[in-house]
Structure 1
Amino acid sequence: MEHINNFKKFQPLLYELVARDVKIKYRKSVLGVLWTLLNPLMMMVILSVVFSNLMKFDIENYSLYILTGQILFTFYNEATSGAMTAILGNASLIKKVYIPKYLFVLSRIASSSINILSSFCALILVMLFTRTELHFTMFLVVIPLVYLTIFSLGIGLILAALTVKFRDVMHLYTVFLTALMYLTPIIYPMSMLPEKVRIIVNLNPLTGILNIFREVMMYNRIPSAFELLVFLVVVLATLALGLWVFYKQQDEFILNL
């Protein structure tokens, strides 16, 4: 209850931090927030043209296949990378007044969540343009999006805590994201992978979340209760680990800022 009451007390500050993050990202930009709509569309066109001609994947509606993967991975990339520097970026404020430090990480995740909603609008536009059939399972899309948000928050808390003490994490994570992108079936089908590689890709939590997302958006399938339960346990365990690491380290933040 103490933590809940503390969160309610600082809730207006969280709104201000989210608004600040969004304004800073699109400051002096002519199109502003519209870039969250245009970016995935332009990337989808480029990737579709390149990979559909070079690799010749036999995937129905390949442009939509790419866009679904790109939207989710871009959100994870942006949310965790932003959360990683959340404490360092607000060092001057943390040194002056008491603010629950997790709010800075949470604000980065929340601002990225606003961006993914705009990207989701781009996905709907592509589905309408390509005359893809819309199914009632689309309403279940909130499940993988919530899973991804919780998972990103857990990873973000871990990265934020480690980055304060070890600045090298920022450089290592950039390399890790590149590897993770290729270990997530964004541009290729799972069927093309050798068995050993497929096992590794399936161990990636983003793969499972992305598969659920595609099932409800593209293939009119309802994920099994077992599948949903497994990934719920995974994302909650990641969040619990993130909270534990963050709270163990947060008292020493001030010494390393």
Structure 2
Amino acid sequence: MNKFRNYILNFLKYKNLIWKLTVKDLKVKYKRSFLGIAWSLLNPLLTMIVLTIVFQSIFRFNIANFPVYLISGQVLFNFFSESTNLAMSSIFRDGQLIKKVYIPKYIFPISKVLFSFINMSISLIAIFLVCILTGVKLTYAAILAPLGLIYIAIFSMGFGLMLCSIGVFFRDLEHIYSVILTIWSYLTPVFYPINIIPQKYIIFILYNPMYYFIDYFRQTILYGNVPTLQLNLVCLACSVIMFIIGLYIFYKSQDKFVVNI
């Protein structure tokens, strides 16, 4: 138990290195991009416009303020997808550095999640722009939106640590996970209302943590509601439990990483 506690406390010692790795990823991503960081703003906007035309005009989903409904779910799920994908491959992609010097290995997946979190934070500007353009009025409940983002960030860190631990030993996980994410996205009410789901399949939604994280964010931004205590407890439980599981699996596996990268 003491070793595990020290493992967590050691995080503070390397916080500057985590930040430098995060900044490095940001610089690499936008190094030769003409629009640079603006892509984090334009990408969700352009995707939202296309999907709004498809699902509201063609499939005729009857959702009030559909553009905000869509882009809020889209931005949060994209963050989860990007952060966990990057975390999964972080150890074997930086394997040479790990072999040369001692660095706590969890720094790599965590820095990837933080990098994706910054990208998502920029994308939030797009959400607020769509709110303004579509006449959605933000209420005092919007100040709770960052708490919802913290919930999903902690969940993504835990899930990323777990994927990273498995991915070192099983490289095919990258391909399998892309399929899992596709299925997961369809099981999450990102672009459709939950009330169209047949009762016999609703269990797949109710046992999906991403549904609760996205619903939390929509409650604060789109509907102007203060999330209930029950919703907060569900989000907190999902995020903390996943983080503990991911950290534990990573802790137990890390000593075998070097011989497998």
Instruction: Give the TM-score, by structure 2 length.
Output: 0.96
Q: Secondary structure at the match of 1:85?
A: helix
Q: Which residue of 2 aligns with 1:246?
A: 250
Aligned to 1:49, the other structure's residue is in SS state helix
Residues paired across the two proteins, number: 257
Task: Give the counterpart letter for 1:69 in structure 2.
Answer: G
- In structure 1, the residue matched to 2:57 is 53
| 1:229 and 2:233 aligned | yes
Cα distance in 2, alignment partners of residues 228 and 2 from structure 1: 29
Secondary structure, counterpart of 2:236 in structure 1: helix
Equivalent residue, structure 2, for 1:147: 151
Q: Deviations over 1:89-121 (max 9, x none)?
A: 110100100000000011001001101111101
Note closer, same or farther for the CA distance 1:212–1:8 as it changes in structure 2 (3 Å cut): closer
Measure how far apart 1:239 and its partner are.
Answer: 0.4
**Alignment partner of 1:136 out of 137, 140, 144:** 140
Cα distance, 1:27 vs structure 2: 2.1
**Cα shift at 1:4:** 5.5
- 1:172 aligns to what? 176
SS in 2 for 1:129: helix
Select 1:98's aligned residue among 75, 94, 102. Answer: 102
**2:158 and 2:244 in contact (8 A); partners too:** yes
| RMSD value, Cα | 1.1
Task: Look up the equivalent residue of 1:226 and give its one-letter code.
Answer: Q
Matched, 1:125 2:129: yes
Moved more, 125-134 or 98-107: 125-134
Inter-partner Cα distance in structure 2 for 1:9 and 1:157: 19
TM-fit CA distance, 1:6: 2.8
Secondary structure of 2:226 counterpart: coil
Write the distance in 1 (CA, Å) between the matches of 2:203 and 2:79: 24
Runs of 4+ in 1 over 3 A off after TM superposition: 1-5
Q: Partner of 1:200 in structure 2?
A: 204
Structure 1 residue 9: Cα displacement: 2.7
Tell me if structure 1 keeps the 8 A contact 2:91–2:108: yes
Identity of aligned residues (%): 40
Residue 34 (structure 1) aligned with residue 38 (structure 2): yes
Deviations 1:206-232 (A, max 9, x none): 001111111111111112112211221
Are the structure 2 counterparts of residues 251 and 178 from structure 1 closer, same or farther at C-alpha, using a change threshold of 3 Å? same
Unaligned runs of 5+ in 2: none
The answer to whether the 8 Å contact 2:158/2:242 transfers is yes
- SS of the counterpart of 2:47? helix
Query: In the aligned structure 2, how far is the partner of 1:190 from the partner of 1:169?
Result: 30
Residues 212 and 234 of structure 2 are in contact (CA less than 8 Å); yes or no, is this contact kept in structure 1? Answer: no
Provide the rounded CA distance (Å) in 2 between the counterparts of 1:230 and 1:148: 12
Map of 1:44 onto structure 2: 48
Question: Partner of 1:56: helix, strand, or coil?
Answer: coil
- The TM-score with structure 1 as length reference comes to 0.97
**Runs of 5+ in structure 1 lacking a partner?**
none
Which residue identity is paired with 2:112? R
Aligned residue identity for 1:12: N
> Which residue of structure 1 lines up, in the alignment, with residue 260 of structure 2?
256
Could you tell me how far apart the structure 2 residues matched to 1:5 and 1:42 are? 42
